[in-house]
Amino acid sequence: MCIRDRNYILDPEIGTWVAENILYAVPNQAAMDALDPALIKSYPNLGMSVEERMKQEAIVDLGDFSTAFTDLNTAVLSAN
């Protein structure tokens, strides 16, 4: 297979590698199904359902502080 013919985003092997090495749950069910159950037991976040992950989401309205937060974030990220 030619490298340009390979879709790395959708490739289950690549997704499995990402999940195993970065410990990030990927949106590729075939990749997640290929994970060793011991890995999921050690890192339960890999086995969380979408519903469980959504419960962990927190959206906070910063109100008037949002502009200051954005400016500070931009300054930090551009300080190379």
Residue pLDDT, tens place only, 19-67: 999 999 998 999 999 999 999 999 999 999 888 988 888 888 989 999 9
Residue 6 has pLDDT above 80, yes or no: no
Helix (H) or strand (E) segment spanning residue 70: helix 66-77
Sorted by sequence, the CB contacts under 8 Å of residue 9 that are 6+ apart come out as none
d(CA 16, CA 1): 19
Can you give the residue range of the structural domain that contains 23? 3-77
pLDDT for the residue 58 = 84
Give the count of domains, the chain.
1
- Is residue 18 within 8 Å of 26, Cβ to Cβ? yes
- Is residue 26 within 8 Å of 15, Cβ to Cβ? yes
> Residue with structure tokens 């994970």?
35
Closest C-alpha among 7, 9, 47, 13 to residue 30: 13
pTM of the model: 0.61
